[in-house]
A and B are shown apart, each in its own frame.
Chain A
């Protein structure tokens, strides 16, 4: 499997497209800045959000029980899934028991994480993603490249080609209004034909047993209103204690994600309407393990706003697919190694540790510190390439011994001055696109001894 550095290099080969990707997401970051500047209490809101989430994580057990009890009282069926397989089976069992073959889904990163679409399609169920961006990547058999803007890696003409192939729109018509209208007609048919709707969950409220789903397209509402069965899927970290806490989170979420004051639709689901069935599936899938790790648990505070993606100078220039996982970007780089340290050992290194992610994060996750800690964990666990280990141990050996360091430094400078061809060749990754620093005759120390030492 190719690692982040290799996939990023492939992405960057198309310089114009990389610039476009970078600028598009930087524009979203700027919209976020503007929206945040509009709230004098911004930093206070972040602090509250962080504290509420910390509190909830520390009392997860009792809040989960409270949530379940209230949801059951509301007439909702509650299911518990230990992992992705159980999650997928629970959903399939509900579908099977109703004899349903066509379902609609509104955006849910959890179902991506569990590879639900693939699983259901293998069982002969047609799954239609109804978020426009999700639908586009679904047509193309691609995963989303961004958790809020799933098709951000695509340009207008890519969408036009995809729609031409699947929806028979005019070839070469790149007009966004035309394309969106075509998608709308297509999706309306799917909404009407479907008997079951799956949604994700942005916030689950212990106090009421209800869930809140935020969308800009209203597709969660359209799906659930037309269907006889609604299944809402959530990782347990979506819990918040009280409905009034939404006044903190809803204000932060949309501003951080897109710079909007609030998402167009914040839909509250409490109970099934007459004649409808409502299910909530609560998923663990590795989350309990994370909760048990002092250094990494607060990654579970994440509200999936993607602000850390948009600000990340690496993500903007390497694209979502370079992270080879459902949740990419900085938060993905600290979550995924929990699930599979070997497969995702490259991700904590896909960062210059600039720290911008931690600064934008609306719930104050210490993302860049966790990236650093993951590097140490992965090294301890033996998940890093041997070549790197030998190199670093070698460096540590020299730098721990002043005399050896001085000898090494002087030799390196001598080589650079007298035999530069030994260093200046293109497989030296520094020299490929950069000149080496010039090598002075004298180190600072030599100069100091000669001129300053009393």
Chain B
């Protein structure tokens, strides 16, 4: 099984530890993972701002880097969803379709493709779980409060095996944190208000960490937490799953 690691641009630049944890975790689970060196970005920031047509070069670069693999795995629900729904390269349409069908967010790759559990992780802390919208509603990583369907959660399924962890959910289990890509700067007031409200509900549970499958949401929440001088930290799910006794 040939697996390519997709590390979105802002993780590459600002959160390398998340990339490292993802790579190490997949290796521990027995995967052989390649990191295509010329990858940049999935094109989502431009597309969500209305400029999908302008991100052609970006899309082409993505297809060039990720062609020839059985699976592509990334630690970001949002970027993975964007590739799945919108990646476009008319000159390489077969390759593009293959990528769109075989790209996975990390937790769903572990539960659905590898069909494995993560056994050795230890994280003796109170942790709040943030359901990021693109992972949850877009990729279907967990059931959603709006739909009247049986309950499940792939991230929770993995986290429940972590030793010592105390997993807590905010009152509104799956409300958006307000990041929303460029929404976070073009609608700054609403974005921050949404983030503050999310944090208040996690703080009510006295959590030490907030975790989730999307670094982007966590980056936004972290920015607010730090400005508020809060003791609560953010941590990506891969970093928790990659811990060892």
Task: Given the known inter-chain contacts A399-B58, A434-B224, please indicate yes or no for A313 contacting B178, CB distance below 8 A.
Answer: yes
Contact partners of B185 in chain A: CB under 8 A: 429-430
Contact partners of A376 in chain B: CB under 8 A: 47, 50-53
Q: Does A189 contact B (CB under 8 A)?
A: no
Instruction: Determine whether the beta carbon of A351 is less than 8 Å from that of B180.
Output: yes
Q: Does B197 contact A (CB under 8 A)?
A: yes
Task: Given the known inter-chain contacts A5-B187, A399-B9, please indicate yes or no for A434 contacting B14, CB distance below 8 A.
Answer: no
Q: Does A409 contact B (CB under 8 A)?
A: yes
Q: Kindly specify which of A124-132, A282-290, A445-453 makes contact with the partner chain.
A: A445-453
Q: Does B189 contact A (CB under 8 A)?
A: yes
Instruction: Determine whether the beta carbon of B49 is less than 8 Å from that of A388.
Output: yes
Instruction: Encode B160-203 as 1/0 by CB contact (under 8 A) with A.
Output: 00000000000010011011110111111111111101000000
Instruction: Encode A38-71 as 1/0 by CB contact (under 8 A) with B.
Output: 0110110000000000000000000000000000
Contact partners of A401 in chain B: CB under 8 A: 40, 57, 61
Q: Which residues of A (405-421) have their CB < 8 Å from a CB of B? A: 405, 409, 412-413
Q: Kindly specify which of B106-114, B118-126, B138-146, B205-213 makes contact with the partner chain.
A: B138-146
Bound Cα distance from A448 to B179, whole angstroms: 28
Q: Does B227 contact A (CB under 8 A)?
A: yes
Q: Which of B10, B23, B195 gathers most chain A CB within 10 Å?
A: B23
Instruction: Determine whether the beta carbon of A444 is less than 8 Å from that of B46.
Output: no
Instruction: Determine whether the beta carbon of A437 is less than 8 Å from that of B20.
Output: no
Q: Does B152 contact A (CB under 8 A)?
A: no
Instruction: Determine whether the beta carbon of B16 is less than 8 Å from that of A442.
Output: yes
Contact partners of A402 in chain B: CB under 8 A: 38-40, 61
Closest to A355 in B: B137
Task: Given the known inter-chain contacts A22-B197, A313-B178, please indicate yes or no for A352 contacting B148, CB distance below 8 A.
Answer: no
Instruction: Determine whether the beta carbon of A440 is less than 8 Å from that of B14.
Output: yes
Instruction: Encode B11-23 as 1/0 by CB contact (under 8 A) with A.
Output: 1111111011001
Q: Does A349 contact B (CB under 8 A)?
A: yes
Task: Given the known inter-chain contacts A351-B180, A434-B220, A449-B37, please indicate yes or no for A356 contacting B146, CB distance below 8 A.
Answer: yes
Bound Cα distance from A53 to B112, whole angstroms: 36
* Chain A proximity of B133: nearest CB distance (Å): 4
Closest to B144 in A: A359
Instruction: Encode A358-399 as 1/0 by CB contact (under 8 A) with B.
Output: 011000000000001001101110001000110011011101
Contact partners of B12 in chain A: CB under 8 A: 409, 443-445
Closest to A7 in B: B189
* Chain B proximity of A409: nearest CB distance (Å): 4
Bound Cα distance from A329 to B105, whole angstroms: 31
Q: Which residues of A (424-441) have their CB < 8 Å from a CB of B? A: 429-430, 432-440
Task: Given the known inter-chain contacts A375-B48, A399-B40, please indicate yes or no for A353 contacting B133, CB distance below 8 A.
Answer: yes
Task: Given the known inter-chain contacts A352-B194, A354-B180, A399-B55, please indicate yes or no for A43 contacting B147, CB distance below 8 A.
Answer: yes
Instruction: Determine whether the beta carbon of B40 is less than 8 Å from that of A4.
Output: no
* Chain A proximity of B120: nearest CB distance (Å): 21
Instruction: Determine whether the beta carbon of A433 is less than 8 Å from that of B146.
Output: no
Q: Does A18 contact B (CB under 8 A)?
A: yes
* Chain A proximity of B187: nearest CB distance (Å): 5
Task: Given the known inter-chain contacts A22-B197, A445-B12, please indicate yes or no for A400 contacting B219, CB distance below 8 A.
Answer: no
Q: Does A95 contact B (CB under 8 A)?
A: no
Bound Cα distance from A355 to B85, whole angstroms: 14
Instruction: Determine whether the beta carbon of A400 is less than 8 Å from that of B48.
Output: no
Instruction: Determine whether the beta carbon of A5 is less than 8 Å from that of B49.
Output: no
Instruction: Determine whether the beta carbon of B58 is less than 8 Å from that of A396.
Output: yes
Instruction: Determine whether the beta carbon of B188 is less than 8 Å from that of A384.
Output: no
Instruction: Determine whether the beta carbon of A432 is less than 8 Å from that of B188.
Output: yes
Bound Cα distance from A435 to B192, whole angstroms: 12
Closest to B86 in A: A372
Q: Does B68 contact A (CB under 8 A)?
A: no
Q: Which of A33, A318, A430 contacts B190 (CB 8 A)?
A: A318
Instruction: Determine whether the beta carbon of A392 is less than 8 Å from that of B146.
Output: no
Bound Cα distance from A359 to B192, whole angstroms: 24
Q: Does B226 contact A (CB under 8 A)?
A: yes
Instruction: Determine whether the beta carbon of B49 is less than 8 Å from that of A353.
Output: no
Bound Cα distance from A4 to B189, whole angstroms: 11
Task: Given the known inter-chain contacts A349-B183, A430-B185, please indicate yes or no for A317 contacting B190, CB distance below 8 A.
Answer: yes
Contact partners of B45 in chain A: CB under 8 A: 392, 395
Closest to A379 in B: B50
Bound Cα distance from A439 to B56, whole angstroms: 28
* Chain A proximity of B19: nearest CB distance (Å): 4
Instruction: Determine whether the beta carbon of B50 is less than 8 Å from that of A443.
Output: no
Closest to A400 in B: B57
* Chain A proximity of B39: nearest CB distance (Å): 7
Closest to B27 in A: A452
Contact partners of A409 in chain B: CB under 8 A: 9, 12-13
Given A9-B188, A392-B54, 7 extra CB contacts under 8 A: A12-B190, A37-B148, A350-B190, A359-B146, A399-B58, A434-B227, A447-B20
A-B CB contact pairs (8 Å), 30 listed: A9-B190, A12-B189, A18-B193, A313-B178, A314-B190, A318-B190, A350-B190, A351-B183, A352-B176, A352-B180, A352-B194, A353-B133, A354-B137, A356-B175, A359-B137, A359-B146, A359-B147, A375-B48, A376-B53, A378-B50, A379-B53, A395-B46, A399-B40, A400-B58, A405-B40, A409-B13, A434-B220, A439-B14, A448-B19, A453-B35
Q: Which residues of A contact B (CB under 8 A)?
A: 4-5, 8-9, 12, 18, 22, 26, 33, 36-37, 39-40, 42-43, 311, 313-314, 317-318, 349-356, 359-360, 372, 375-376, 378-380, 384, 388-389, 392-393, 395-397, 399-402, 405, 409, 412-413, 429-430, 432-440, 442-449, 452-453
